[in-house]
Amino acid sequence: MTEKLNVLYAAFEAVPFIKTGGLGDVAGTLPGALKKAGYDVRVILPKLQSIPQTYRDEMARVIEFQMPLGWRNSFCGIDKLEQGGITYYFIENEYYFMRENPYGYYDDGERIAFFSKAVTESLLHLPDFKCDILHCNDWHTALSPVFLREFYKGIPLYDEVKTVFTVHNIKFQGQYSDFMLGDVLGFSGIPAAEDQLRIGDGAINYMKGALLYSDVLTTVSPSYAEELKDPFYGEGLDGLFRHRGTVFSGIMNGIDTEVYNPKTDEMIEANFSLEDLSGKAQCKAALQKELGLEEDAELPLVVMIGRLTEQKGLELVKRVLPEILSAGVQMAVLGTGDRPYEEMLRHVELEHPGRFSAQICFDEELSHRMYAGADMLLMPSLFEPCGLAQMIAMAYGTLPVVRETGGLRDSVILYNKETGEGNGFSFRNYNAHEMMFTLLNGADVFKNNKADWNKLIIQAMRADFSWGKAAEQYRCIYENLHRGFKEEL
Ligand code: ADP
């Protein structure tokens, strides 16, 4: 039977307030699914400047307090806002959070430490909420379980809190000079914390703290959970994932199937559904026109949507992009990221007018039009914890072409020429030509085997990426943890 547990879900971004990537999607949708499972789930976020004013206007101040952080005594305000049936708390500190961008400042280590500490401290102050489970996400909240054990132990309210930590991307860990230990974190003279945060001479690692101090660890797909135990993917922390293997598992993310729904999406040219796919052709024609691509329904249109970084396979794309374009394929990329990749893509656009479009920006609405209008989505990631773009694409009947890693491996079923089964195309090795041949194989099916192509579209749209399954798995984790706590008493 479901117990009524109270969960505080801590993240640095969540839709609809702030999103720079998949974490924002997850933190904005999973809590709703957990609420449906019967929990009181509340979300705690930083009150960042980039949160739209309309939301800021609706927030109400709950409490203000001073909080020690190393030698500092910092102001901390907590605002509250109800949105979509969920209570959101926003931690305010103008000095740390009223900046143009969410990330990318010289003192991010201090800003993040402040946020993590404020999350833990807030448990003392939130009215009408007694936390059973503190669920932290990525390095921005990695220190919360560490602070909880080191500074708040012995306070009955905290002794009953169990902690879950989810890794969304191991690449970002929060590594800093060990000067931070005393100056910012206030851990000097606490040998356990010093030892467990240290990663070598003169350096500390926030994520390492979470991996050692949290009661349960999860990541965002079963394959990534296995990969993290491997030195190739583990970014120096693979030993810890192996060490804590009994409390570590992978739970596949879902997507917001109400937002990403071609039947009701108001951002796309024409709606379509499994019952009537005709609108998809209109979406493609409109997209080709909008992006200045040759307006030809018979040319396979491939899109990429995401951060332009090495992780997303841009090295492979760079190597064979002109070859792909000259093989009768149109491509459009939407993304921002590393400057050399942005420049490379702009250059290719100049050299291949009508064939290639580089949209170097972050544009939510354009992303919907691209998901809906494309035939294929290319995602040749070097590593991919879960990946949402491939699932969103499938919801719009756009077939993914992916490397078999992490969540891409867990969500895309390779097309089987013999049986017509599958919902996309995939390749194994991080190799540019393997990627190209897989993509061109997809283009060949598109051009010469319409029967299979249409079947694949339907199979992709039928795949269930809703949050129900994941919510059920988190429910099991929370309840086992809570039950364990009761047994300890
Ligand atoms: P990651 O979290 O590694 O960045 P994911 O595939 O998990 O990648 O999630 C990325 C999310 O951000 C998707 O919802 C994708 O549509 C969106 N996104 C990424 N780049 C852009 C962009 N330039 N414009 C609009 N949406 C974007």
DSSP letters spanning 320-380: HHHHHHTTT-EEEEE--B-HHHHHHHHHHHHHSTTTEEEE-S--HHHHHHHHHH-SEEEE-
What pLDDT does residue 416 have?
94
Q: Percentage of the chain with pLDDT > 90?
A: 94
- Mutating to test ligand 1, I would choose from 367, 371, 377, 378 the residue with most ligand atoms within 8 A of its C-beta, which is 367
Residue range 146-196, pLDDT digits in tens? 999 999 999 999 999 999 999 999 999 999 999 999 999 999 999 999 999
Neighbouring CB atoms inside 10 A of 194's CB total 16
**370-376-381 Cα angle (round to 5):** 95
pLDDT value at 483 more than 90: no
For the chain, give percent helix, strand, coil, nearest 5. 45, 20, 35
Give the chain's domains with CATH numbers: 6-254+468-482 (3.40.50.2000), 278-462 (3.40.50.2000)
Orientation of helix 206-213 relative to helix 143-151, angle to 10°: 60
- Mutating to test ligand 1, I would choose from 259, 365, 388, 402 the residue with most ligand atoms within 8 A of its C-beta, which is 388
Confirm if 236 and 207 have CB atoms less than 8 A apart.
no
pLDDT value at 486 more than 70: no
Q: Which two tokens stand for residue 371?
A: 């998901």
CA pair distance 36, 135, nearest whole angstrom: 17
pLDDT value at 489 more than 60: no
Q: Which two tokens stand for residue 264?
A: 């009701």
Give residue 257 CA to ligand 1 midpoint distance, Å.
16
Q: Which two tokens stand for residue 484?
A: 């364990």
Residue 75 to residues 49, 64, 72: CA-CA distances in angstroms? 17, 7, 10
CA-nearest residue for atom 24, ligand 1, is 362
- Which of the residue ranges 3-7, 191-195, 482-486 would you say has the lowest mean pLDDT? 482-486
- Please state the φ and ψ torsions of residue 27, each to the nearest 5 degrees: -65, -20
Kindly give the number of the ligand 1 atom that is closest to the alpha carbon of 389.
6
Q: Which two tokens stand for residue 120?
A: 């833990």
**316-303-226 Cα angle (round to 5):** 55
Residue range 403-431, pLDDT digits in tens? 999 999 999 999 999 998 999 999 999 99
What pLDDT does residue 1 have?
47
